A and B are shown apart, each in its own frame.
Chain A
């Protein structure tokens, strides 16, 4: 009796269909596992690179590289020093960088209590009651009253690198001009006019972008008045190296919030700095 029931069950059409479907399911699963073996297990995400962007500091190089003619004591911002200025001990100061010689140049100093807040002081200017007298290879001489004070560079090792870098770099010239927000608004509303006035193409070394070359510029355009010339290779803007389209676009996006644009271009194998004040 049991044997007959088993035969009926094994012969039933339903079981045959069910078995076939199960086999098809197993084959489908097998194929998907086989495919999975060759497919990537992770997607691609954008790596957000934190681009270092220190605040661009306007520096008047004329007052720095030419020794002051008068004996008038000046602050770092060019205003005369109040003789009763707040006195600070030289030991409270730290020398972070220097550039120049005995009679001209500038140093970067900060108070140890607020080391991040740096100030650029030119020869002849005063900082916290101390007047910068001269600049040496590894230290700066300040005076206060009739006494001289020596302030050494923060780290000699860093300083050696700094000196080497300065020596290897070509001469940097700086020019400064202004640009109105109306001009920027004009170009953002008329992007076609922008590309009519100027054509910029990325210069690549392999896959890496080295900068953006000014391929064409209308000499009568607002862009030309900013100091850009055909052939200029724009390598930096506001201390950011332009290595990707995004770097260039980030500057463009922030244009409404910044008031100074500094562009470094390579012209005739020399670096040239163009500074625009947006007003």
Chain B
């Protein structure tokens, strides 16, 4: 009986993996692009590669309301149903944002796991410092704990005022949407 159950689970796992492998990830990405366009966000000039179990997007320019807002060197999407991750590396924000935040962002990682289905985990690192937190899907709230870099304290005082100082000396950023 136990053997039969294990076999069944193995077949299910094999089927899910096969489905993941054969899923037309590039076309799914194009559909995501169409959805984003409704919010005036366009990812353009990118090179899309289907790696079997993940999708790589290289050298993309992100336009918001037709304004080139950021250049993404590397974007990696992993969709395993139980564990999904979007990893962005080497981001250069547009000069327009230079008065609000340092333009170089080393990495941004977004993770969604079935173990914590109501939250999206976020980690980011860049010239601004580091940030980690979560996006609550049910409460529609973003919470980030930020460790600002020295440059943020010296040159981006206006942005720093948007952050809430914690009792332990750290900073946090909260936004409802």
Sorted nearest first, the 8 A-B pairs with minimum C-beta distance are A39-B27, A32-B22, A28-B18, A246-B66, A46-B44, A36-B24, A28-B19, A40-B30
- Scan residues 13-65 of chain A and give those whose CB is less than 8 A from a CB of chain B: 20-21, 24-25, 27-29, 31-32, 35-36, 39-46
A28: contacting residue among B15, B29, B95, B100, CB under 8 A? B15
- In the bound complex, CA of A58 to CA of B134 (Å): 55
Interface size on A, as a range, is 20 to 34
Does A191 lie at the interface of the complex (its beta carbon under 8 Å from any beta carbon of B)?
yes
Q: Which of B28, B29, B46, B99 has the most CB of A within 10 A?
A: B99
Q: Is the interface of A mostly helix, strand, loop or mixed?
A: helix
Q: Which residues of A contact B81 (CB under 8 A)?
A: none
Q: Which of A21, A27, A45, A191 has the most CB of B within 10 A?
A: A45
Residues of A within 8 A of B (CB): 20-21, 24-25, 27-29, 31-32, 35-36, 39-46, 188-192, 244-246, 249, 252-253
Count of A-B residue pairs with CB < 8 Å: 81
Q: A28-B22, A244-B65 are in contact. Are A44 and B34 (CB under 8 A)?
A: yes
7 contacts between A and B (CB under 8 A): A20-B11, A28-B19, A31-B19, A44-B42, A45-B45, A46-B45, A188-B99
B23: contacting residue among A20, A35, A252, CB under 8 A? A35
Residue of A nearest to B26 (CB): A43
Interface pair B37/A44, CB less than 8 Å apart: yes
Q: A24-B15, A35-B23, A246-B65 are in contact. Are A189 and B99 (CB under 8 A)?
A: yes
Interface pair B66/A253, CB less than 8 Å apart: no
Minimum Cβ distance to chain B for residue A196 (Å): 12
- Taking A24-B18, A44-B34, A191-B99 as known contacts, 5 extra A-B pairs with beta carbons closer than 8 A to each other, sorted by chain A number, are A28-B18, A42-B30, A43-B33, A191-B100, A253-B95
A192: contacting residue among B18, B42, B158, CB under 8 A? B158
A29: contacting residue among B22, B43, B45, B95, CB under 8 A? B22
Minimum Cβ distance to chain B for residue A27 (Å): 7
Interface pair B48/A43, CB less than 8 Å apart: yes
B66: contacting residue among A25, A41, A244, CB under 8 A? A244
B96: contacting residue among A42, A192, A253, CB under 8 A? A253
Minimum Cβ distance to chain B for residue A248 (Å): 9
Q: Which residues of A contact B11 (CB under 8 A)?
A: 20-21, 24
Minimum Cβ distance to chain A for residue B70 (Å): 13
Interface pair A32/B95, CB less than 8 Å apart: no
- In the bound complex, CA of A253 to CA of B98 (Å): 12
Interface pair A36/B27, CB less than 8 Å apart: yes
Minimum Cβ distance to chain A for residue B66 (Å): 4
Q: Which residues of B contact A27 (CB under 8 A)?
A: 15
Does B67 lie at the interface of the complex (its beta carbon under 8 Å from any beta carbon of A)?
yes
Does B63 lie at the interface of the complex (its beta carbon under 8 Å from any beta carbon of A)?
yes
Interface pair A39/B31, CB less than 8 Å apart: yes
Residue of A nearest to B63 (CB): A46
Residue of A nearest to B44 (CB): A46
Q: A28-B18, A32-B22, A32-B23 are in contact. Are A249 and B67 (CB under 8 A)?
A: yes
Interface pair A245/B99, CB less than 8 Å apart: no
Interface pair B19/A39, CB less than 8 Å apart: no
Q: A27-B15, A36-B24, A40-B31 are in contact. Are A46 and B42 (CB under 8 A)?
A: yes
Residue of B nearest to A21 (CB): B14
- In the bound complex, CA of A42 to CA of B45 (Å): 13
Residue of B nearest to A44 (CB): B33
Interface pair A245/B37, CB less than 8 Å apart: no
